[in-house]
Amino acid sequence: MQDTLLNEAKKDYHRPMHTAEHILNQTMVRMFGCSRSVNAHIERKKSKCDYYLSHAPTAEQVAEITRRVNEVIALRLPVYEELMPREKAASLVDLTKLSDEAGDTLRIIRVGDYDACACIGQHVENTSEIGTFEIISHDFESGRWRVRFKLKQESV
């Protein structure tokens, strides 16, 4: 069986926004102990992610999510890929959403030491390329918290 994940074309997401999604996901995991987003729609102008939570985050928690994501972005972390056997990847990242057809060699994207995730999308090379993360709206319904966000590029 061919390693489908390696041979498949990389998803054509907006690189800064997609990398910000990785940072947001890890921030949510660390703050709330939830899984990474269960649904995401990543676009250049604005994006959204859904998380299963027991309750809606407070205004203070939403502000803290924003602060933490921007703190990680400001660290100017390298973003890079590692190819590794599925078995090794399983000890580092959650592979429950990954199908068996993904193959035996997986592409793991690392955002410095902050995040690691199996992914076929495109990413920036350094978090300094992302800009400023801003949550523009959010809502909570039946255990699903949907957060909408955008990036503001720094003017030079």
Residue 155's pLDDT band (boundaries 50, 70, 90)?
low
DSSP 156: -
CB 127 within 8 Å of CB 76:
yes
Residues with Cβ < 8 Å from 50, sequence gap 6 or more? Answer: 37, 38, 39, 40, 144, 145, 146, 147
What pLDDT, on the 0 to 100 scale, is given for residue 28?
A: 98
- Locate 90 and state its tokens: 């399983």
**38-92 tens-digit pLDDT:** 999 999 999 999 999 999 999 999 999 999 999 999 999 999 999 999 999 999 9
Dihedral class, residue 99 (left if φ above 0, else alpha if ψ from -120 to 50, else beta):
beta
**112-137 tens-digit pLDDT:** 999 999 998 999 999 999 999 999 99
Residue 97: is its pLDDT beyond 60? yes
Q: Choose the CATH number for 4-152 among 3.30.980.10, 3.40.47.10, 2.70.98.60, 1.10.10.10.
A: 3.30.980.10
Strand pairing category for 47-52 and 79-85: unpaired
Mean pLDDT of the chain: 90
pTM: 0.89
Task: Answer positive or negative: Cα dihedral of 17, 12, 125, 118.
Answer: positive
What pLDDT, on the 0 to 100 scale, is given for residue 153?
A: 83
Of 118, 120, 38, the closest CA to residue 86 belongs to: 118
Contacts 24+ apart (CB under 8 A), 36-39: 36/94, 36/117, 38/144
